[in-house]
Amino acid sequence: MILTVGNIKGGVGKTTLAVNIAIVRASAGCDVLLVDGDEQRTAQTFTELRATLRGEPGYTAVSLHGSALRTQVRQMATKYDEIVIDVGGRDTGSLRAALTVSHVVVIPVQPRSFDIWAVDNVAELIREARDINPELRALIILNAADAQGRDNDDAATALREVVGLEVLDLSIGRRKAFPNAAAAGRAVTEYTPKDAKAIEELMALVATVYREGIA
């Protein structure tokens, strides 16, 4: 399965989700390739830190951009059980290339007006990608969601009006465990002290994406 975590809006937590998903899948015994398609190379930097602290990251990581991302991911698809692509932050050739080779794109969206408005542009990119990759599924996950209040529900309601995208019936809260784990080169599932809620939310996302006939 080829999974992209992407958005044209920066600061939505896509890299955090991508590296956590890659580690969870690798821990489950899958041979995972993590592709850093973001020119900021955050996923690659995280992997280097993880390798330094742990000896090896537990997955393979490469940095690919533009048309090379599409070409090389297609070539490597048979060599790995899972491919996770971290890409976006803006409308780039790398994001467009990833959408043409992926089975699923997970779109993290924070329950904020600017993030919600940007989803219309993401939807347009996905419609264009489906001319080449008609089976592409697009799943929105509310990320860094509020602990209480109406913002989450209001955001989900607005996002469900975007044609061609599916809003997952789950969310990931704004939890310090995610940046704390990243700073230690770990997934939230590996970090101590344990944040049971953060782990539960991450595992629910992974289970949903890889279980419901999507994989």
In order, the DSSP letters of the chain are -EEEEEESSSSSSHHHHHHHHHHHHHHTT--EEEEE-STT-HHHHHHHHHHHHHSS-SSEEEE--THHHHHHHHHHGGG-SEEEEEEESS--HHHHHHHHH-SEEEEEE-SSHHHHHHHHHHHHHHHHHTTT-TT-EEEEEEEEE-SSSSHHHHHHHHHTTSTT-EEEEEEEE--THHHHHHHTT--TTT-SS--HHHHHHHHHHHHHHHHSS--
Looking at residue 215, its pLDDT comes to 45
pLDDT at 212: 52
pLDDT tens for each residue of the chain, 215 residues long: 999 999 999 989 999 999 999 999 999 999 999 999 998 999 999 999 999 999 999 999 999 999 999 999 999 999 999 999 999 889 999 999 999 999 999 999 999 888 899 999 999 999 999 999 999 999 999 999 987 778 889 999 999 999 999 999 999 999 999 999 999 999 999 999 999 999 999 999 999 999 854 44
CATH class of 2-211: alpha beta
